[in-house]
Chain A
Amino acid sequence: MIERYNIVNNRYLLKDLGVLKHHLAKYYSVVQIQKDADGEKLWTEQFGDKIEPLFGHNHLPLTSPKGFLFAEKEVLYKFDGETFKTILPQVQPKVMFGVQACDLSAIAYQDKFFEHDPYYQKRRENILLVGIDCESPCVTGFCVQVDAGPHVKDNTADLVLSRLNVDDANGSSEWLVIAATEKGINSIKGMTLDKADNKHLKLRTKLLEKVRSEFVDYSYISNAIEYLNNNSVPAQLWEELSVRCLGCSGCTNLCPTCSCYTTYDVVEQQPEKPVSISREVKLEVTKSETIRCWDSCLFEGFQKEASGHNPSQKAAQRVERFWFHKFSDEYLPEFQRYGCVGCGRCEQTCPGTIGVHSVMKRIDQQCCS
């Protein structure tokens, strides 16, 4: 395992988050949550000098930062007619500014999964993670139930930001800045920051307890996890739930831990000698590239073999597979946590209303009755 987090835990105080962001922007290109034209909050790279104000430490953005590490689509290698050449991504140092605890837990999960993937790691090495503690539960979030939040977990970020108090009179805040790694410490070199002490850490813990207490009762999720692992969810329930799965891949695309991909080849067109890749024409490829892109285990053809044999032919099998991968104890030895970080994005996006809350509620209701 790559040791990224040499725990150092230097603590500072900061009045204006903008100062930190502008300091980091000198060395990193800034990626943060930003509203698009429709008001949707998305993880977006900032260009030029303009740095938008921070959104999101109370509201989860629709997208996670996943695509900045595990690209939605990227070239793996090229064929020049004779040999294959690896195409690693060309990356600039980036700071992911203000990543919530759930998404940081997901990045830590993917760090393990993609530990030996050169494309992922090339991006990852160049990313500074600035985490931010959530100050209240978000609409669909249940991070407390899956040990992923609401405060940034240890060993998941380089810098951690935690707002200790807000002065309503002048709108100013006081932030605790924890430099949790060598990389984090190096990133704030040159800044003049006051040292924080144990009193400030205690305040952070107190605020954490307050936020935790504000979460509604999500015990149906814990119950359902238990039923899933007892294998006591009847096939019939999966059949019923799967009727509502459109195979749209909204859940897997937005899920910050989903990592399945497929590959496809693109032939480099040569104007003087067009090459068809239709079934009838003999292969005359001289140059091509192989691309990988996100795939979804909910797609009917995900496991379908050339012979037509499909081990997960039924939608019910595929829906069950998705939840097995998120909540099975079988994955704990490898990842030390569940594949679900409790962000609830699947619930937000699923057009068939079989996101995590709906499914876990159904399981809890049916299995306990």
Chain B
Amino acid sequence: MLQLTPQTIRIVDVYDDGSHARHFTFEPKGFVHDNPISIGQFFMLTLPGVGLAPFTYTSIPDKTGRFNALIRNVGHLTEKLFSLGKGDVLGYNGPFGRGWPVGLIKHKEVLIVAGGCGLAPVAATIDYLINNGYSKSVTLLYATRDSASQVLKKERTRWSSSIKLIETLEVGGDSDHSGLPTQYLSHLLNKDDQYPDIVLTCGPEAMMMAVANSCVDLGLKTSDIWMSIERRMRCGVGLCGHCYVANSYACQQGPTYRYDEYLALESKTVAFEKDKVLFQYC
């Protein structure tokens, strides 16, 4: 039987990281993680008296079971979370879903395109690649609205010495690094020596789709592009029904989808002309 009841975790460290974003370190209380957690999976966080929501592991649990999450204060639940501090107790369920294709990206030229808080779900992948000696083949294109919206400063500083890190700002960047990530992408992908074998992208959905389509236009196969889809969730185990993508649930078959699989799912339902939505970094 599924276990819907959370286990208890405690906040052991908190620090601000970018505007309206905060870095949390959690520690299991009275349990050990019984499943190996793969990079790119997610967990459900329960705030007693408030509710539950899905979050990503910025780092997967270490030997002591501690793990990190970069969380943006964007809604009712996170607002309550930001009022908590060291020692406060929360509920935890996980890990859930399908992570990044870590086995596939070793020995490959990897391009990671992250937008805003979308850097959090790929952070552990970058660390994994660096720690396993693959840093030379990693390029990270990190896009945000402005410099205040950038997150994971410590991590980016650490990474900058080992991987190729490009940061673009929609507003306030220098002439080479301003605008949308897709604009930079064509510039990046036109250089033969940096042509990626595989692309991982995470950020606002509209950004990911734009990135994926640009990559396809520039010659990548849809099966070489992976994305992490965000959905509202109330369980993490395929029961509540909220996170549907056609006949799949993002909490089960996702949140990481290969672009061709995602397109195949999308094609099963009617394509509506979407109301024009300007994507926002989250």
Question: Do A267 and B239 form a contact, CB below 8 Å, given A235-B273, A282-B83?
Answer: no
Residues of A within 8 A of B76 (CB): 279, 306
The answer to whether B275 touches A313, judged by C-beta atoms less than 8 angstroms apart, is yes
The answer to whether A261 touches B78, judged by C-beta atoms less than 8 angstroms apart, is no
In the complex, which residue of chain A has the Cβ closest to the Cβ of B83?
Answer: A282
Residues of B within 8 A of A308 (CB): 280
* Count of A-B contacts judged by CB separation below 8 Å: 164
Instruction: Please choose the segment from A11-19, A79-87, A159-167 that sits at the chain B interface, where 4 or more of its residues have CB less than 8 A away.
Output: A79-87
Instruction: Mark out the residues of chain B between 221 and 276 whose CB falls within 8 Å of any chain A CB in the assembled complex.
Output: 230-232, 234-235, 237, 239-247, 267-275
Residues of A within 8 A of B3 (CB): 86, 118
Cβ 8 A contact of B234, one of A83, A261, A285, A297: A261
A264: Cβ under 8 A from any B Cβ: yes
Per-residue CB proximity of A292-308 to B under 8 Å, as 1/0?
A: 10010100001111111
10 A-B pairs within 8 Å (CB atoms) are namely A84-B48, A117-B2, A231-B268, A233-B270, A235-B271, A277-B49, A285-B50, A292-B234, A303-B231, A309-B282
The answer to whether B231 touches A328, judged by C-beta atoms less than 8 angstroms apart, is no
The answer to whether A114 touches B239, judged by C-beta atoms less than 8 angstroms apart, is yes
B78 to chain A, nearest CB (A): 7
B6: Cβ under 8 A from any A Cβ: yes
Instruction: Please choose the segment from A176-184, A196-204, A317-325 that sits at the chain B interface, where 4 or more of its residues have CB less than 8 A away.
Output: A317-325
Residues of B within 8 A of A112 (CB): none
B11 to chain A, nearest CB (A): 12
A77: Cβ under 8 A from any B Cβ: yes
A176 to chain B, nearest CB (A): 37
The answer to whether B50 touches A277, judged by C-beta atoms less than 8 angstroms apart, is yes
Chain B contact residues: over half helix, strand or loop, or mixed?
loop
Question: Do A309 and B204 form a contact, CB below 8 Å, given A76-B5, A288-B49?
Answer: yes
Instruction: Mark out the residues of chain B between 188 and 246 whose CB falls within 8 Å of any chain A CB in the assembled complex.
Output: 204-205, 230-232, 234-235, 237, 239-246
Question: Do A309 and B51 form a contact, CB below 8 Å, given A85-B5, A330-B268, A331-B247?
Answer: no
B47: Cβ under 8 A from any A Cβ: yes
The answer to whether B241 touches A260, judged by C-beta atoms less than 8 angstroms apart, is yes
The answer to whether A330 touches B52, judged by C-beta atoms less than 8 angstroms apart, is no
Instruction: Mark out the residues of chain A between 35 and 91 whose CB falls within 8 Å of any chain B CB in the assembled complex.
Output: 76-77, 79, 81-86
A73 to chain B, nearest CB (A): 14
The answer to whether B1 touches A306, judged by C-beta atoms less than 8 angstroms apart, is no
The answer to whether B46 touches A290, judged by C-beta atoms less than 8 angstroms apart, is yes
B37: Cβ under 8 A from any A Cβ: no
Question: Do A305 and B5 form a contact, CB below 8 Å, given A290-B52, A321-B244?
Answer: no
The answer to whether B241 touches A283, judged by C-beta atoms less than 8 angstroms apart, is no
Given contacts A231-B270, A309-B280, 4 further A-B contacts (CB under 8 A): A86-B3, A233-B270, A304-B232, A311-B245
Q: Which 6 interchain pairs have the tightest Cβ spacing? A: A306-B75, A260-B241, A285-B49, A330-B247, A288-B49, A79-B48
Expressed in whole angstroms, the Cα–Cα distance for A84 and B79 within the complex equals 22
In the complex, which residue of chain A has the Cβ closest to the Cβ of B93?
Answer: A84
A263: Cβ under 8 A from any B Cβ: yes
A262: Cβ under 8 A from any B Cβ: yes
B53: Cβ under 8 A from any A Cβ: yes
The answer to whether A283 touches B267, judged by C-beta atoms less than 8 angstroms apart, is no
Instruction: Mark out the residues of chain B between 66 and 106 whose CB falls within 8 Å of any chain A CB in the assembled complex.
Output: 74-80, 83-84, 88-89, 91
Expressed in whole angstroms, the Cα–Cα distance for A325 and B268 within the complex equals 11
B30: Cβ under 8 A from any A Cβ: yes
In the complex, which residue of chain A has the Cβ closest to the Cβ of B84?
Answer: A283
A42 to chain B, nearest CB (A): 25
Residues of B within 8 A of A86 (CB): 3-5
In the complex, which residue of chain B has the Cβ closest to the Cβ of A312?
Answer: B244
The answer to whether B272 touches A303, judged by C-beta atoms less than 8 angstroms apart, is no
Residue among B4, B230, B268 with most chain A CB within 10 A:
B4
Residues of B within 8 A of A79 (CB): 48-49, 91
A120 to chain B, nearest CB (A): 9
A116: Cβ under 8 A from any B Cβ: yes
Expressed in whole angstroms, the Cα–Cα distance for A234 and B270 within the complex equals 7
Residues of A within 8 A of B47 (CB): 265, 283
In the complex, which residue of chain B has the Cβ closest to the Cβ of A314?
Answer: B272
Instruction: Mark out the residues of chain B between 160 and 201 whose CB falls within 8 Å of any chain A CB in the assembled complex.
Output: none
The answer to whether A121 touches B241, judged by C-beta atoms less than 8 angstroms apart, is no
Expressed in whole angstroms, the Cα–Cα distance for A233 and B271 within the complex equals 11
Expressed in whole angstroms, the Cα–Cα distance for A316 and B275 within the complex equals 12
In the complex, which residue of chain A has the Cβ closest to the Cβ of B30?
Answer: A83
A275: Cβ under 8 A from any B Cβ: yes
In the complex, which residue of chain A has the Cβ closest to the Cβ of B85?
Answer: A282
B147: Cβ under 8 A from any A Cβ: no
Question: Do A77 and B269 form a contact, CB below 8 Å, given A307-B74, A330-B247?
Answer: no
Expressed in whole angstroms, the Cα–Cα distance for A114 and B1 within the complex equals 10
